[in-house]
Structure 1
Amino acid sequence: MIAAYTSVLSARPGDPVDIHLSSSGEVCRLEIARLGRERGVVLEVKNIATVEHAVPADADTMGCGWPVTATFTVGAGWESGYYELRFENELGETTCHFVCVLPSARTQRALLVLATNTYQAYNWWGGRSTYGDIGAVMDGRLGLFEALDQAVGIVSQERPFAQGILNAPEGVPKLMNGGLRGAGELPDMPSRRFTAEHGLGPLDNPAGFKNKWEHKFVAWCEEHGIGLDYATDRDLNDRPHVLDGYACVLVVGHSEYWSGPQRQALDDYVDQGGNLAVFSGNTSYWKVRWDGSRMVCHKSRGIDREPDLASAATGLWSHPQFARPEAALLGLTFLLGGYHRLGMCVARGTGSYTVYDETHWALEGCDLFYGDQIGGDSPLLAYENDGCLLQFNTDGRLSAVPHLGVPADLAVIAMAPAVFAEEPGTAYPPILAPEKLELAALVAHGHSEAGAQDRLRRGHAVMASFRREKGEVFNAGTTEWASALASGLSFVPRITLNVLQRFGAVG
């Protein structure tokens, strides 16, 4: 066995980074490489002396407590980005970790915020995550749905990552059904076969950088000469000034977990004239709190677990106790969106957005008209998508209903159906992990009775934009935007470029 973690997940040139490593071998080799369109090695260290350390029973929540094995210093010439740390011992065993290198000073016009809180929430190294006892699933002690009851509300950063999160193999399929479901058939899900074939955890795919959404997005940007600086979720929590001076801030893929200070930093950034480009789905759904090296996220149990913490508690960002629904900043929320082309959720969906405002600036130069569809050839929509309540205008266009923080002046560009949870009581067994419908319905619609839960199930994926104070927000409304971008899907590259140009990311 070989496993490692670092003292920090982000650092600037000149900063030291401690490595905590356990290995059944006696020596190992470290290779550090920046991941983007290409993999560029910046440092190799050989013959690092190692020993094997015990894994504490509570490593998932309290950390490993291993001593420092070695230290490296971030090089003065290391470009801002995601850096993979790859370790290999003399037995041929390997493991990976990462460090985000921040710029010493702003070097680009746009800042990408890596969704590292989401990485932490899904990490099950040591057994459990905020989703369940995935270790018990992997060794056959529990089925996935049973394991969900063993989720923990606190996870430690001082432990390695499950390798399916940080070191996913090439060719990770989209989180979607493989094709349109035939009559009487269960959906085909290639991602589940891929997970089983490669020995990955059942919930590894929705988090991590390598060969996933963020990686695909930055590779496209580098191919097209668009420079990005990098930071992590935790950086916005600890040092919100990292946003200073950027024309545009981007979140990509699956930026699901935000802390209070992180949210405040982005609120202030936009209100003071910054531009926020959201190419993510299920964005800022759960509110978390950092307590030293541990991330607290009790999810649906948060309000009950921490009744005396008021606004510092954890749970749904849209919960009325916090009075700060995510849609007030983002324009959209997963509570009014849902899944598309996944399991029995819109299982026969086209995976396309339908255009309702062909005059919107984001569609400039796309040759799109009212009713045209964007994305069916990839498809664009799958997995998780954010939305809002909608109403038809007399001119046939759509308007947002100002509900759950959604601004009244939200410009709705395109829309598609989405389903928040699979329908119960059908002839088909559940495929997706069940959502906590009672709490979600209570937060979204004010009560948790069956009628509210039924209403919750029927949502929409929405592409939209709006102005907030001195700044502006664009929200693509889906996790899958980067995958469509990487595939050169019709219209998606041009829309992306329109957003980046308007928001000042491209000079």
Structure 2
Amino acid sequence: MPACYTDRLSLRPGERFALHASSTSSTCRLEMARVGAGREVVLTRAVEVGDHPTPDHADRNGCGWPAACEVEIGADWRAGYYDVALTDAAGETAHHFVCVKPAAGGPRAKAVLVLATNTLHSYNYWGGASAYCDVEALMSRRKTLPEAMADAIGVLSTQRPFPPLLLAPPEDMPRLVNMRKRGFEEKSWAGGDPAWSRAHRQSPYDGSAGFLNKWEHHFVRWAEGEGIDLDYLTDYDLEIEPGALDPYACVVLVGHSEYWSGGQRAAIDAFLDRGGKLAVFSGNTCFWKVRWEDEGRRYVCHKWKGFEADPVAAADPAQGTHLWSHPAFEHPEAATIGLSFVFGGYHRLGLCAARGQGGYTLYREGHWALEGCDLYYGDVIGDELPLIGYENDGCPITFGEDGLPAPVARLGVPQNLEIVALAPASFAEAPSPYRPLIPPEQLDVIAEIAHGSASPQAQARTLRGHAVMASFARGAGEVFNAGTTEWAYGLKANDPFVTRITLNVLRRFGAV
């Protein structure tokens, strides 16, 4: 099967990228297509491709393959996600992508979708390992899950392909959610369809990132169907382009925008403070701090080992890569987005809220986001989808004399946060007779950060979180946070409540 990668992921019309490829077929067919509500082919050509080995440690050092060709972005190519498909003589196809940004000085949409490309890099295990795990050793059973997780790498190359199911899964790839509640004394499971996974040799990490047939794609299909115009940027563009957000009224995040660099965070903070609006239809948002090196060719993401494994962090802790909520950074993510995964967690995954309702219970029916939704106190939305699942963000909660939930302002959670809806979530699986299915987290670290203690009692408290839908004013701007990865599936299903709430947010925020 062929394989390919580009030397850069985002370009403007008139700019060029190099396509690096390997195939046993000397001639392959290259097709590029903008993917949104439909698939719009913009380029086809024959490409001569050599057969190149994948070098050792390609995961951290890159493949080093020669360029098979260069492609110039057409002047008439619309902003969007462009699938790069390379097909060999046997009909086997490899996929990569580029993000086409609007032309410099050209017309702009009112809103920009920032693609969660940092999350994609974190999960990329081409060549062996990712920031999570030595995935190839795990899938070949050469290592157990704990052994494979111990061999995760913290420095990753962007100059390599992506695994097929991570980047370009078929439309029937199952969601990362248990679609029904666990039955009485039924063994727990962790999303998906075991038969599908076996048939496609799916890794535990393939569903957690990527555009095609996943969260961002579903959102774009819906938005284009509604006539909503969007421009596109990648996470890295916010790192390297000062003022990239200046032309926009609204920034949109969708799905799983988990990894933010320091430059990206500063760009979004500045955007909000000067009056921009941030619409977060994502879960586990801005959880990990990452760093870029070598002009975007090297991505640094040490996660839990962010200080002891990183010589840069040893010299300057502020440059480390760890939880954004870590006290070394003095800038927890909730200060920007209002919520945090440390106060949220999983829902309908393994034993985490395995019999959870899968939807939001509404508390503030008078909130502006619910206008025209025919919703009232105690109503539940999205339970049949399910709307709440996989990863969800929350905040510490208390109840006032009015009977409504209110935030406890700590670890960056703003005092002026308005909580609209809630659902239980858990940061990890509680001890049980069942085999654990969610990779173990460092509960002691989370408990220390979230609750000021690593005691067993604080770790137990960490297991009791919430998914939260909320909004707040930040500087001269405003933030709406849907608090869950699964919001786009409500739009895919044409759920009337999710659709109306999304339109209310985008209208208020000047996106339409």
TM-score, normalised via structure 1 length: 0.98
Output the CA distance in 2 between the equivalents of 1:263 and 1:189. 32
Question: What's the counterpart of residue 123 of structure 1?
Answer: 124
| 8 Å contact kept, 2:189–2:349 | no
Aligned counterpart for 2:438 among listed residues 415, 432, 440: 432
State yes or no: 1:362 paired with 2:361. no
Counterpart secondary structure, 1:241:
coil
Paired position in structure 2 for 1:298: 302
- 1:232 counterpart residue number: 234
Distance 2:420 2:220 in 1: 25
1:415 deviates by 0.5
What is the 5 A alignment of 1:105-120? Answer: 105-120=106-121
Aligned partner of residue 344 in structure 1, secondary structure:
coil
Distance 1:190 1:324, change over 3 A: closer
Q: Distance in 2 between matches of 1:214 and 1:469?
A: 28
Deviation at 1:152, TM superposition (A): 0.4
Corresponding position: 1:144 with 2:145: yes
Report matched runs for 1:131-280 at 5 Å: 131-189=132-190, 191-193=192-194, 194-280=196-282
Partners of 1:411 and 1:330 lie apart in 2 by 12
Cα distance in 1 between the residues matched to 2:227 and 2:188? 39
Question: What is residue 44 of structure 2 aligned with on the other side?
Answer: 44
Counterpart in the other structure of 1:33: 33
Q: Calculate percent identity across the aligned residue pairs.
A: 53
SS of the aligned residue for 1:304 comes to: coil
1:300-348 Cα deviation digits (max 9, x unpaired): 1102233222211110000010001000000000000000111100000
**Which residue among 479, 498, 506 is the counterpart of 1:500?**
506
Could you say which residue in structure 2 is the equivalent of 1:447?
Answer: 453
**Is the contact between residue 377 and residue 490 of structure 1 (CA under 8 Å) also seen in structure 2?**
no
CA distance in 1, matches of 2:395, 2:204: 30
Quick one: distance in 1 between partners of 2:449 and 2:428? 16
After superposition, the Cα gap between the structure-2 partners of 1:214 and 1:383, relative to the gap in structure 1 and judged at 3 Å, is: same
Is residue 178–residue 189 contact of structure 1 (8 Å, CA) maintained in 2?
no
Cα distance in 2, alignment partners of residues 382 and 146 from structure 1: 28
For residues 178-231 of structure 1, the C-alpha deviation after alignment (integer angstroms, 9 at most, x for no partner) is 321112111344515233222222211010000000000000000010000000
Q: Equivalent residue of 1:422, what SS?
A: coil
- More divergent stretch after superposition (121-130 vs 166-175): 166-175
Q: Is the 8 A contact 1:179 1:188 kept in 2?
A: no
Question: Quick check: 1:81 aligned with 2:80?
Answer: yes
- Match in the other structure for 2:59: 60
Matched, 1:10 2:10: yes
**Aligned partner letter, 1:122:** Y
Unaligned runs of 5+ in 1: none
- Measured after TM superposition, the shift of residue 25 of structure 1 is 1.2
Partner residue in 1 for 2:317: 310
Partner deviation per Cα, 1:52-80 (whole Å, 9 max, x = no partner):
11211110001111111100100111000
Asked whether the 8 Å contact 1:374–1:490 carries over to 2, the reply is no
How many angstroms does 1:132 deviate by?
0.6
Q: Say which SS state the counterpart of residue 384 (structure 2) adopts.
A: coil
Aligned-partner SS, 2:365: coil
Could you say what secondary structure the match of 2:166 adopts?
helix
Distance 2:375 2:348 in 1: 24
Q: Which amino acid aligns with 2:12?
A: R
Helix, strand or coil at the partner of 2:299: strand
CA distance in 2, matches of 1:89, 1:140: 30
Letter in 2 for 1:154: V
C-alpha contact (below 8 Å) 1:55/1:126 kept by paired residues = yes
For the Cα contact (< 8 Å) 1:178–1:187, is it kept in 2? no
SS in 1 for 2:315: coil
Tell me the CA shift for residue 464 of structure 1.
Answer: 0.2
SS in 1 for 2:505: helix
Aligned to 2:467: 461
| CA positional deviation for 1:137 | 2.0
Q: Is the 8 A contact 1:12 1:74 kept in 2?
A: yes
Counterpart residue identity of residue 293, structure 2: D
Give the match's secondary structure for 1:240.
coil
Tell me, in whole angstroms, the C-alpha distance in 2 between the residues paired with 1:450 and 1:422.
Answer: 14
Q: Distance between the aligned counterparts of 1:281 and 1:137, measured in 2?
A: 26
Deviation per CA, 1:423-456: give whole Å up to 9, x if none.
12x2111011111111111111122121111111
- Secondary structure, counterpart of 1:243 in structure 2: coil
Cα distance in structure 1, aligned partners of 2:298 and 2:448: 29
State how far apart, in whole Å, the 2-side matches of 1:490 and 1:440 are: 37
Q: Secondary structure at the match of 2:243?
A: helix
Letter in 2 for 1:478: T
For structure 1, which segment, 254-263 or 234-243, has the greater mean C-alpha deviation from structure 2 after superposition? 234-243
Contact kept? 1:10, 1:102, Cα under 8 Å: yes
1:99-148 alpha-carbon deviations (Å, 9 max, x no partner)? 00000135210000000000000000000000111011222322334311
Normalised TM-score (structure 2): 0.97
2:192 match: secondary structure: helix
Retained in 2: the 8 A contact 1:106–1:245? no
Q: Please, which moves more after superposition, 476-485 or 370-379?
A: 370-379
